[in-house]
Amino acid sequence: MNDYRFLLSGKWLGFFLLACAAAVVSVHLGGWQMDRNDHLEGENAKITRNYRAEPLTGARAAEQFAAHDESLTWHPVQLSGRYLPEDQVLVRNRPQDGRVGYEVLVPFRTQGGDVVVLDRGWIPTGEAANGMPDEVPAPPAGEVTVTARLLPGEPDVSRGAPEGQIATIDLEELRERWDRPIGTAAYGEVFAEDPAPAAAPAPASEPETGSGPHLSYSFQWYAFAALFFVAYGYAARQQARNDVWDRQFAEEMERRLGRFYDEDGNYVGEGDEELVVRQLEMADDMPAHLRSLMRPKPQRRRSRPTWEDEEDALLDALERQGR
């Protein structure tokens, strides 16, 4: 263990604390990715369970817009009432099928008097250079029965939009814009209207239920946490080996000096002393990977005697017999 006493130095204690800090960060990031994976699995479970379920109807359907149960996200609801097209608004920058367009939001007054927000679907950006849609299909007039899927509102993005448009489905912003009481806990993504209009926005695509890369990313971060300590241990082992080699080199240099100088420091070697000193200085200044060439090489243990050993043993035996 004496070879590893350097681990108690300030430098190596700092390296150890740095490895600990990096491992803590990696474990935190691994846990964060694991939480994201758990959240994604929960959302996928909601889609699988609710997307094609039988619609909620009546008061139970309407109350979800004012007090949404998150376990019912993507669950269909069926509402009867009238659209309020005068307050129609477009949500800008909405991609679908590789194109950018708008989602059409229209308030809907149910037969019970509640006003809810319905997303009638997607329309593409028009051909004009101003980026506006060519045409926005009007909602059915009069009494209509709509079937929609429940979705929570979106957060505020603090970004402006042209007149008649919004940047995100922020239900609180819509309540202030329309200046009327509406359900702000959820909105409905329409996929059926009865009677059906002659033209309607394109319905939203079915959400994907892929697992994503979060689980593999989590395992990678946990592996990184362990690798920091592996790297620390490897570096410590290399440092210990280098220290041993340096001691061996110092001993070798001392042995070489003994060939040229006596105990009093007088030069007793053959040849020019200046040349000897220069050679020794050159060896001492060598980089580590070249200095190892001058270190004494350990003797390899022979697993079996050589022919010379056997011959010497035979001669020794004959000599003893001759005595």
pLDDT digits over 274-294, tens only?
777 776 666 666 655 445 544
pTM of the model: 0.68
Average pLDDT over residues 215-242: 95
Q: Is residue 163 part of a domain?
A: yes
pLDDT at residue 147 in the model: 97
Provide the residue type at 190 as one letter: V
Residues making up the chain, counted from first to last: 323
Q: Which positions ≥6 away from 189 have C-beta within 8 Å?
A: 118, 119, 148, 149, 151, 204
Same domain, residue pair 184 and 253? no
Instruction: Report the alpha-carbon distance of residue 2 to residue 53 in Å, rounded.
Output: 71
Same domain, residue pair 149 and 255? no
15 membership: H or E segment, kind and range: helix 10-50
Same domain, residue pair 63 and 17? no
Domain containing residue 237: 1-51+220-323
Same domain, residue pair 68 and 190? yes
Instruction: Report the alpha-carbon distance of residue 250 to residue 261 in Å, rounded.
Output: 16
Instruction: Report the alpha-carbon distance of residue 177 to residue 291 in Å, rounded.
Output: 80
* Torsion angles phi and psi, residue 146, rounded to 5: -115, 150
Average pLDDT over residues 51-59: 94
> Which token pair is 56?
């909620």
Q: How many CB atoms lie within 10 A of CB 57?
A: 15
Q: Show contacts of 7-11: CB within 8 Å, 24+ apart.
A: 7/236
* Torsion angles phi and psi, residue 67, rounded to 5: -145, 85
Same domain, residue pair 273 and 237? yes
Place of tokens 């010379």: 308
Provide the residue type at 137 as one letter: P
Instruction: Report the alpha-carbon distance of residue 152 to residue 185 in Å, rounded.
Output: 6
Same domain, residue pair 66 and 158? yes
pLDDT at residue 262 in the model: 73
Judge contact between 25 and 220, C-beta under 8 A: no
Same domain, residue pair 226 and 288? yes
Question: Given a cut of 90, is residue 318 above it in pLDDT?
Answer: no
Place of tokens 């367009």: 101
pLDDT at residue 227 in the model: 97
Instruction: Please give the share of the chain, as a percent, with pLDDT higher than 70.
Output: 85
Average pLDDT over residues 138-145: 95
Average pLDDT over residues 176-182: 92
Instruction: Report the alpha-carbon distance of residue 239 to residue 4 in Å, rounded.
Output: 9
Q: What is the pLDDT of residues 180-209, one digit of tens each?
A: 999 999 999 999 999 999 999 999 999 988
Instruction: Report the alpha-carbon distance of residue 65 to residue 81 in Å, rounded.
Output: 15
Provide the residue type at 303 as one letter: S
Q: What is the pLDDT of residues 69-89, one digit of tens each?
A: 999 999 999 999 999 999 999
Look at 47-51, 196-200, 319-323 and tell me which has the smallest mean pLDDT.
319-323
